[in-house]
Structure 1
Amino acid sequence: MHFVKAKGILSAKNGMNIYRGCTHGCIYCDSRSECYGMKHAFEDVEVKENALELLEDTLRRKRAKCMIGTGSMSDPYMPLEQRLGMTRKALEIVQRYGFGFTLITKSPSVLRDLNLLQAVNQKAKCVVQMTLTACDDALCKIIEPNVAPTRERFTALKTLHEAGIPTVVWLTPILPFITDTKENIEGILNRCIEAKVRGIICFGMGVTLRAGNREYFYKKLDAHFPGLKKTYIKIYGDSYSVMSPHNTELMSVFRRTCKAHGIEHNVGKIFKYLNNLENTQQKQLELF
C-alpha cells in the first residue's frame, strides 16, 4: 500500500472511497477497468491519509443530514483495514455528526464494528450491503480467492439482522458457464431468505467486461477454466455486457423467489432506500 493526500472525500452523491485498489483478487473486478484512470498497480492499495480530516470537515459544514456511502470501488474491509482502522474511524465521525451510513463489502470483518453500526442505526440509519456470487465455497475461493467464503458472509448477514441492522445483497456478477446455474442461484437465494435480507440487487445474470478487467478475467479463466476464454470470445467478442444464455430462466427464478418471500428486488426502490435518510424507522419499513 501507499499513502496520498486527497483533495476531497465525498462525491456529489455522498459516496467515498478511503482506499483505492483492492487485494481480494476477484477475477471479474470491474474496478480494474482502465476507464477509472488508476495509475498504480491494483493490489498496491492507495490510502487517502487525510480522508478522516476531510470527512469531518465536510460533515461539519453540511446543512442537511444524508446517507454517506462507501465500498462502491474498493472494499472498506480489506485486510489492511484491520491495521489502519480508517473505516471504523470514519464510522465514528458519521455517528457523531448524526448522518446515515451504508457500505458494500464481501468481508465478515464488518462485524468488528457492529456496535458502531448499531449506534448509527439508532441515531439515523445504517444499511450493510454484502456481495454474494457463488453458493459453493470451493468455487467461491476460485473466483474470489482472497476474501471470506460465502458461508462466512452468510453468517455475518444473519448476525447483522439479529443485531437490528438491515441488509441488502448484491447478486452480481454471475459468470456465464461458471456460476449461472439454477442450483447456484437458488442456493444463494435460500441463504438470503434465511438471513432475512431486505433486498437483493441484480441487474441480470451476467458480468461486465471492458479494457483492463477483461484481460485480467481472461488470464484467470485460462488458469482455472481452460478453454472457456475461447467460448467467451466466440459468443461475446468485445461486448461490455456479457449475459448468461440462461438469463431469462434464472431471472424468472430470482423474481419469483423474491416475491414469494417478501424480498425487494426492484433496483430503483432499493437504491432509493439506500440513498434516502428518513426521519423514522417506520419510514424505512414503508419503502419495503
Structure 2
Amino acid sequence: MHYKEVKSIVSPSNGMNLYRGCSHGCIYCDSRSTCYNMQHDFEDIEVKANAVELLEKTLSHKRNKGMIGTGAMSDPYLHLEKELQHTRKCLELIDRYEFGLAIQTKSDLILRDLDLLKSINEKTKCVVQMTLTTYDDELCKIIEPNVCVTSKRAEVLNIMRDNGIPTIVWMTPILPFINDTEDNIRGLIRYCVKAKVYGILLWNMGVTLREGDREYFYQKLDEHFPGLKERYIAMYGNQYILPSPNNDKLMKIVRQECKKHGIVCESDVLFEYMKKFETKVNMEQMSLFDYL
C-alpha cells in the first residue's frame, strides 16, 4: 500500500475510484491490463490520500445533484478499507450532500455501511451492484480467491432486498470451459430471483483479455487448470474478446428467466437506471402517475 495525492476524484461522468489496484486476486481482472498505465504493482494498492477532502469540495460546489458511481476500476471494499474507511467517509459525504449512489463490489464488507446505504436510499437512490460469476463456492475460491464466496454475496443481496435497496448483479465474466455451464448460470439466476434483484448486467458469455491481464490469467490457468491455457490459445489466439462456445444457449436461458421473473437484463436500460438521479418525491410522483 502507498499513498498518492491526486488533483481530482470525480470524473466528468460522476465516476469515482478511491483506490488503484486490487487485493481480491480475481484471475481474469481487466484492470491488470497495461493499457491503464499503472506505475506500480497491481497488489501494491494506491490509496488516493486526499480523496475525501476532494470529494467534499466537489459535492459542495456542484450545482446539480446526481448519481455518484464507484467500483468500476477498483473495488471500494478492498481489505485495507476495513481500517482506512475511505469508502465509508465518502459515503457519509454523499449522504450529507444528498447525492445518489451506484456502488459496485464483490465484498460483503459493504454490509458495514448498510446504515449509510439506507440513508442515501431514503433520500434519493442507492443502487448496490454485486458481481456473481461462479455458483460453486469451491470454484469461486479459485477464480476469485481473496474475496468472499458467491453464497455470501448472495446473502448481501438478500439483506439489501430486506432493506429496500435496489440491486444489480454483474454476471460477468463467464469463463470458457470453466464456469460457462447451464448449472452455473441457473444457480446464479436462482440467487438473483430470491434476492429480487432489479437487473442482471451482462453482454455475452465469455471473457476479455489484453496485455497484462492475459499473462496473469494464463499463469493461473497453468496453476489451477493444467492444459487449459493451450486450449485457449488454440481457439482464440490473441483475441481481445473470447466468447464461450455455449454463448447462445446460455444467453437464451438468461433472457427467458429474466423475462419470467421481471428482471431487467438490457444493459442500456440498466446503465440509464444507474445514472438517473431521482429524489423520493419524484419517484413517488412517477409511481402515482403510473397508477393513474
Answer whether contact 1:133 1:172 (CA < 8 A) is retained: yes
Seen in structure 2, the aligned counterparts of structure 1 residues 211 and 282 have a Cα distance that, compared at 3 Å, is: farther
Tell me the distance in 1 between the aligned counterparts of 2:191 and 2:101. 24
Seen in structure 2, the aligned counterparts of structure 1 residues 266 and 283 have a Cα distance that, compared at 3 Å, is: farther
Q: Give, in angstroms, the shift of residue 281 of structure 1.
A: 3.1
Q: Give, in angstroms, the shift of residue 211 of structure 1.
A: 0.4
TM-score, normalization: structure 1?
Answer: 0.98
1:81 — aligned with what? 81
> Which residue among 266, 281, 284 is the counterpart of 2:283?
281
Tell me the distance in 1 between the aligned counterparts of 2:13 and 2:43. 26
1:233 — aligned with what? 233
2:148 — aligned with what? 148
AA in 2 matched with 1:108: D
Answer whether contact 1:221 1:228 (CA < 8 A) is retained: yes
1:58 — aligned with what? 58
1:266 — aligned with what? 266
1:220 — aligned with what? 220
Tell me the distance in 1 between the aligned counterparts of 2:286 and 2:191. 23
2:182 — aligned with what? 182
AA in 1 matched with 2:217: F
Tell me the secondary structure at the aligned position of residue 168 of structure 2. strand
AA in 1 matched with 2:68: I
AA in 2 matched with 1:11: S
Answer whether contact 1:70 1:76 (CA < 8 A) is retained: yes
After superposition, give the CA deviation of every residue in 1:236-268 in whole Å (9 maximum; x if it has no partner): 001000000000000000100000000000100
1:207 — aligned with what? 207
1:100 — aligned with what? 100
1:127 — aligned with what? 127
Q: What is the aligned residue count?
A: 287
2:28 — aligned with what? 28
Tell me the distance in 1 between the aligned counterparts of 2:163 and 2:114. 8
Q: Give, in angstroms, the shift of residue 282 of structure 1.
A: 4.1
Seen in structure 2, the aligned counterparts of structure 1 residues 264 and 283 have a Cα distance that, compared at 3 Å, is: farther
Tell me the secondary structure at the aligned position of residue 128 of structure 1. strand
Seen in structure 2, the aligned counterparts of structure 1 residues 130 and 92 have a Cα distance that, compared at 3 Å, is: same
Unaligned segments of structure 2, at least 5 residues: none
AA in 2 matched with 1:42: F
Tell me the distance in 1 between the aligned counterparts of 2:285 and 2:228. 47
Tell me the distance in 1 between the aligned counterparts of 2:150 and 2:250. 20
Unaligned segments of structure 1, at least 5 residues: none
Answer whether contact 1:273 1:284 (CA < 8 A) is retained: no
1:194 — aligned with what? 194
AA in 2 matched with 1:165: I
Q: Give, in angstroms, the shift of residue 176 of structure 1.
A: 0.1
TM-score, normalization: structure 2?
Answer: 0.96
Tell me the distance in 2 between the aligned counterparts of 1:104 and 1:128. 6
Tell me the distance in 2 between the aligned counterparts of 1:118 and 1:168. 16
